[in-house]
Chains A and B, each alone.
Chain A
Amino acid sequence: MQFNKRSLITLGVLALIVIASYYFFTRKGITYIWHWEKIPEMLFYHGSKSAEDAVPRLRMGVLMMGFILTLKISVASIFFAIIIGTIVGICRLSKEPVTKGLAMAYVELIRNTPLLVQIYIIYFFVGSMLRLSAFTAGTAALAIFAGAYVGEIVRAGIQSIHKGQMEASRSLGMTYAKAMRHIILPQAFKRIIPPLAGQFISLVKDSSLVSVIALADLMFQGQQAVARTYYAFEIYFTVAALYLVMTFALSMATQYIERRLAISD
């Protein structure tokens, strides 16, 4: 890819359209006084928190606290989604009808109902039976949801590996489990990194739905801050940017892993 005259013209035209439309719409639309200066203190501020904790020092603002919680939920649910997905993916390929049937039922049930409904069910129904915290319930709901998709991705990955690989492994005396672990899964995972990355990026964004069970994630903190200050535009732009930081980092990380694993190609 090389920039040339044509790419410059394209960029120029696009910039003109954006600038023109901004002036066009703001001229006839609302007058809004931007308060971007209020945003930094929602990320970090220097000061004391309360009477008990009065020592002035650098502290995290509400949006940064939300960012950290969203990060924790995302990492935890990605971790469990990989485990669930791998198990489900292998079970889907089982010749044993009950194992295969259960895995299929799980995938269909979870994929075909809305995540928001699942979060409510897991938090209010399962959560109150098992006394789960909102964090555990939220993480569980996200992991179970993503696990169904990851399961199908893993299944497709395993099926894409030439059957000669399994035959060669078994002919050397490896059990099915050893062949899976040492030969099939490592090759399958390498192949499914791109669709997995897409799935995990979706998961990070879907994690904003856990704000409905009063988990103080990035989305929840943003909504609260808007309710308090009415700086809706600035705060939602900032929230979006913070989600972008996470998802973009995830994109970069998977591309790095992909390049690393490409050595044997």
Chain B
Amino acid sequence: MIEARNVYKTFKTPDRREVKALVDFSTSIEKGEVVVIIGPSGSGKSTFLRCLNQLEEIDSGEIIIDGVDIYGKKVDINEVREEIGMVFQSFNLFPHKTVLENVILAQIIVRGRKKSEAIDIARGLLRKVGILEKENVYPSQLSGGQQQRVAIARALAMHPKIMMFDEATSALDPEMIGEVLDVMKTLAREGMTMVVVTHEMGFAREVSDRVVFMDGGQIVEEGTAEHFFSNPTHDRTKLFLSQIL
């Protein structure tokens, strides 16, 4: 489903230093797989997610999604993005639109669905994330956890083939993390292909098929959650886990 080959990505800081975010990065993710990416900040986890839907452009290498080289010349990136839902750390709901409008807008203007159809889909998803009663309020009137659940519904409304979560619970108050993780777990169990950058080790342990530990723009170690938390082999991994667990 997702294939990254020898991806390099370098950022230039304002003072013209170069920061290597991804260095010869390769991995592949199967359909229906739930991959959790962990690692210290600046290790390139979020950059990898953002390169998958071209919010950042890679310097070299290849990313192939569903058989399409997304950096190919004839590829319309907007069509690729329709198939990849993304959930952000800072929610990024549209503040001038109600909850329902947030969830139907892209369905109508991108997918070309009829408004009534879009509303049906939106209501179904809002019910699924447990927030249907708030469909007519504006995002500013919701708690962080509620906003993030709406953001998940908004992404799901496009019926994407892949869902990406970029530290989706990091900006939430502790008591709200659970409600968002529950939605993510449900999705995982339903067989959604998921790439999740998170610091929630409980989530990784419970639902991930594979845990990837990144540092310095490269994969240091990867394996099943069980392998990862019971007997990590790499020193860097052990150090990281000892710091966060």
**Chain A residues with a Cβ under 8 A of chain B:** 162, 164-165, 167-175, 178, 182-183, 186-187, 190, 263-265
CB pair A264–B110 under 8 Å, yes or no, is no
Q: Tell me the minimal C-beta distance from A169 to chain B in angstroms.
A: 8
Interface size of B in residues (CB-CB distance below 8 Å): 30
Interface centre among A171, A178, A183 (most CB of B within 10 A): A171
- 13 A-B residue pairs with Cβ-Cβ distance under 8 Å, sorted by A, are A165-B94, A170-B55, A171-B81, A171-B86, A172-B81, A172-B158, A173-B79, A173-B110, A173-B111, A174-B109, A183-B94, A187-B96, A190-B96
Interface centre among A168, A172, A186, A265 (most CB of B within 10 A): A172
Give the chain A neighbours of B97 by CB distance below 8 A: 264
Asked if B1 CB lies within 8 Å of chain A CBs, one says no
Q: Contact partner of A164 among B88, B96, B158, CB < 8 A? A: B88
CB pair A182–B81 under 8 Å, yes or no, is no
Q: Known contacts A164-B90, A167-B88; is A172 also within 8 Å of B96 by CB?
A: no
Q: Tell me the minimal C-beta distance from B54 to chain A in angstroms.
A: 8
CB pair B55–A171 under 8 Å, yes or no, is yes
Nearest residue in A to B109 (C-beta to C-beta)? A178
Give CA–CA (A187, B155) in the complex, Å.
21
Give CA–CA (A73, B78) in the complex, Å.
43
Q: Known contacts A164-B88, A171-B86; is A182 also within 8 Å of B138 by CB?
A: no
**Chain B residues with a Cβ under 8 A of chain A:** 53, 55, 78-79, 81-82, 84-86, 88, 90, 92-98, 105-106, 109-111, 138-140, 151, 154-155, 158
Q: Tell me the minimal C-beta distance from B210 to chain A in angstroms.
A: 23
Give CA–CA (A242, B105) in the complex, Å.
45
Q: Which 4 A-B pairs have the closest CB atoms?
A: A168-B92, A173-B82, A172-B106, A164-B92
CB pair A172–B154 under 8 Å, yes or no, is yes
CB pair A173–B92 under 8 Å, yes or no, is no
CB pair A170–B81 under 8 Å, yes or no, is yes
CB pair A264–B53 under 8 Å, yes or no, is no
Q: Tell me the minimal C-beta distance from A213 to chain B in angstroms.
A: 42
Nearest residue in A to B158 (C-beta to C-beta)? A172
Give CA–CA (A171, B139) in the complex, Å.
19
Nearest residue in A to B83 (C-beta to C-beta)? A173
Give the chain B neighbours of A162 by CB distance below 8 A: 90, 92
Q: Tell me the minimal C-beta distance from A139 to chain B in angstroms.
A: 32
Q: Tell me the minimal C-beta distance from B154 to chain A in angstroms.
A: 7
Q: Tell me the minimal C-beta distance from B146 to chain A in angstroms.
A: 16
CB pair A167–B158 under 8 Å, yes or no, is no
Give CA–CA (A165, B94) in the complex, Å.
7
Q: Tell me the minimal C-beta distance from B124 to chain A in angstroms.
A: 18
CB pair B106–A173 under 8 Å, yes or no, is yes
Q: Tell me the minimal C-beta distance from A191 to chain B in angstroms.
A: 10
